[in-house]
């Protein structure tokens, strides 16, 4: 059983999927006040809020477009008025795929900018807003997809890959800047995840991804789940993780350990 002594948290993009999994695990681990952020789907946010409440946490629903600095500022104002302070910030929100999922030669510049703003800009403004109300020893987490930032094969992911890479770099700078206050800044990189952006893909494509995992390209033979990510987020929010900062943690069942240089059969040993 993970026990978190911090009492207040804000999880952006937590109405569904990975954000929801993180919010539920934080509540289950002892966080007593949690801000559930959403953009458009209030119904999903309310469902998450109900589940989080069942874990014993007080919930504050907060709506904001994280690509707009003024709305981020308003979101933190709402959190401050409701909770008074903030111990944990999890930056997870992203636009829906139709706003960024296009190859480099096709993506409109406004969609490229939306992807960047949703990650690097949102992280910059969110941390600036959070730190003044965050106690020493606070926790800041960013959900990324590190593979998309260092490879180039998933062509329509180019904007989000670049945006996540920029956000990861920013996290390392914040980790150094906030270390004197004992505030840690870490990144979590899930693999292909059930109930996530992958769920918006055609069913045949999603089944191909599951088959790829079960065949051994994911050594643990399954896709990541939101609960897997939530568990790692909770671990990083414990007091015991207070000396871990600026790190990128993969939650992918070992998928990032596999090599594309050799046939899978040669890697099974």
Domain CATH code at residue 166: 3.40.50.720
Query: What is the total count of domains within the chain?
Result: 1
**What band does 147 get if pLDDT is binned at 50, 70 and 90?**
very high
Q: Is residue 263 part of a domain?
A: no
Q: Is residue 134 part of a domain?
A: yes
- pTM reported for the whole predicted model: 0.95
What are the counts of helices (DSSP H) followed by strands (DSSP E) for the chain?
10, 7
Using one digit for the tens of pLDDT, what is the confidence trace for 22-71?
999 999 999 999 999 999 999 999 999 999 999 999 999 999 999 999 99
Q: Is residue 206 part of a domain?
A: no
What is the structure's pLDDT at 206?
82
Q: Is the Cβ–Cβ distance between 193 and 251 less than 8 Å?
A: no
- In whole numbers, what is the pLDDT of the chain averaged over residues? 94
Q: 34: domain range?
A: 8-193+226-258
What is the structure's pLDDT at 28?
97
Question: Which single residue is written with the structure tokens 């904007």?
Answer: 159
Q: Is residue 198 part of a domain?
A: no
Q: Is residue 2 part of a domain?
A: no
Does the structure show a pLDDT above 70 at 214?
yes
Does the structure show a pLDDT above 80 at 134?
yes
Window from 162-166, 175-179, 212-216 with minimum mean pLDDT: 212-216
What is the structure's pLDDT at 207?
87
**What band does 261 get if pLDDT is binned at 50, 70 and 90?**
confident
What is the structure's pLDDT at 131?
98
**What band does 152 get if pLDDT is binned at 50, 70 and 90?**
very high
**What band does 267 get if pLDDT is binned at 50, 70 and 90?**
confident
Q: Is residue 265 part of a domain?
A: no
Q: Is residue 215 part of a domain?
A: no
Mean local confidence (pLDDT), 121-126: 98
Which pairs from 239-246 meet CB under 8 Å and 24+ separation? 239/5, 239/137, 241/139, 241/184, 242/137, 242/182, 242/184, 244/184, 244/186, 245/175, 245/178, 245/179, 245/184, 245/185, 245/186, 246/171, 246/172, 246/175, 246/176, 246/185, 246/186
What is the structure's pLDDT at 269?
62
Q: Is residue 269 part of a domain?
A: no
């Amino acid at each position: 059983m993970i026990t978190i002594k911090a009492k207040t948290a804000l999880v952006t993009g937590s109405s569904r999927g990975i954000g929801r999994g993180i919010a539920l695990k934080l509540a289950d681990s002892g966080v007593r006040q949690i801000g559930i952020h959403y953009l458009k789907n209030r119904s999903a946010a309310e469902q998450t809020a109900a589940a989080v409440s069942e874990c014993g946490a007080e919930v504050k629903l907060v709506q904001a477009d994280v690509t707009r600095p003024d709305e981020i500022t308003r979101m933190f104002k709402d959190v401050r008025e409701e909770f008074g302070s903030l111990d944990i910030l999890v930056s997870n929100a992203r636009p829906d795929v139709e706003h960024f999922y296009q190859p480099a030669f096709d993506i409109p510049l406004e969609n490229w900018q939306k992807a960047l703003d949703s990650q690097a800009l949102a992280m910059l403004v969110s941390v600036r807003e959070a730190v003044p109300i965050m106690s020493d020893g606070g926790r800041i987490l960013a959900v990324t997809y590190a593979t998309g930032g260092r490879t180039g094969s998933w062509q329509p992911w180019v904007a989000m890959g670049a945006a996540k890479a920029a956000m990861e770099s920013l996290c390392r700078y914040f980790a150094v800047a906030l270390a004197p206050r004992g505030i840690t800044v870490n990144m979590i990189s899930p693999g292909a995840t059930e109930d996530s952006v992958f769920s918006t893909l055609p069913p045949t494509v999603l089944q191909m991804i599951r088959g790829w995992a079960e065949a051994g390209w994911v050594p643990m033979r399954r896709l990541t789940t939101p609960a897997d990510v939530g568990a790692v987020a909770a671990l990083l929010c414990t007091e015991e993780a207070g000396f871990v900062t600026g790190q990128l943690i993969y939650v992918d069942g070992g998928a990032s350990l596999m090599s594309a240089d050799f046939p899978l059969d040669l890697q099974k040993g």
